[in-house]
Amino acid sequence: MLVLGIDDAGRGPVLGPMVLAGCLMTKEVEKELKKIGVKDSKQLTQKRREVLAEKIKEKSETFEVVVVSPLEIEGQNEKGINLNQVEAIACAQIINRINKGFDKIKVIVDCPSPNLVAWQDYLKTKIKNLSNLEISCEHKADKNYPSVSAGSILAKCVREIEMDKLKEKYGEEIGSGYPSDPLTCKFLEKNAQKYGEDGLFRRTWSTWKKACADLGQKKLL
């Protein structure tokens, strides 16, 4: 049986995309990847992630990456589809692209929702063919399974590439995109309205709305 590990990067930022990646591999390759230091991407430096990403691509049967833009997140939110559901839809896209011509696949997903059962049930409604799949949605899967760690590394590397493109356009001062980053907060405070139509921010988020409200109040003073 092959294993398909899926994880995300960039769920929490107010700026930039969310990225999901899935890596399909044999159990033997999972063991190999563990030996060379594949683990949860948050425990690795960017340089190390980049080195491991190449090994992961080389050793996996196949892999898929889905980039979900702020505009897509925003559009789905406006339709009443929350971020957990957006992630499930992207996760299903990866599964549907990969699940062609393989006998049995165990799919392991690092689940973003506190409600594992409800999220897994929603995910299944978006998958085209379930007949050859065994699906397991778990918390901390990125720490517990090398295949999911591999997905987290690919997702993080692609998100960094996407953020580099944005930095080329808007400058280094956009920071990491996370609301906890002082650089990002400063950029947001100055530019929430200026670049509001650029597809840079997740405008349905309270962080962006608050920055716009603060800017409006400053103009009134």
Domain assignment of residue 193, given as a range: 171-214
What is the reported pLDDT for 213? 66
With CA atoms as reference, report the closest residue to 8 among 155, 166, 161.
155
This prediction has a pTM of 0.93
Token pair recorded at residue 176: 């990491």
Are residues 11 and 110 both part of a single domain? Answer: yes
- Per DSSP, the three-state class of 20 is strand
For residue 106, what is the domain's CATH number?
3.30.420.10
- The mean pLDDT values, 10 residues at a time, for the chain of 221 residues are 97 94 97 94 93 97 97 93 97 98 96 96 98 97 96 97 97 93 90 89 80 55 36
Are residues 57 and 21 both part of a single domain? Answer: yes
Q: Contact at 8 Å (CB) between 202 and 70?
A: yes
Relative to beta strand 18-25, strand 2-9 is antiparallel
Token pair recorded at residue 118: 């409800």
What is the reported pLDDT for 219? 47
Are residues 127 and 67 both part of a single domain? Answer: yes
What is the reported pLDDT for 117? 97
Q: How many domains does the chain have?
A: 2
Q: Measured between alpha carbons, how far is 117 from 62 in angstroms, rounded to an integer?
A: 27
What is the reported pLDDT for 100? 94
In the block, tokens 């299903």 appear at 92
In the chain, the amino acid numbered 148 is V
CA dist 104 → 4, 107, 148 (Å): 10, 10, 17
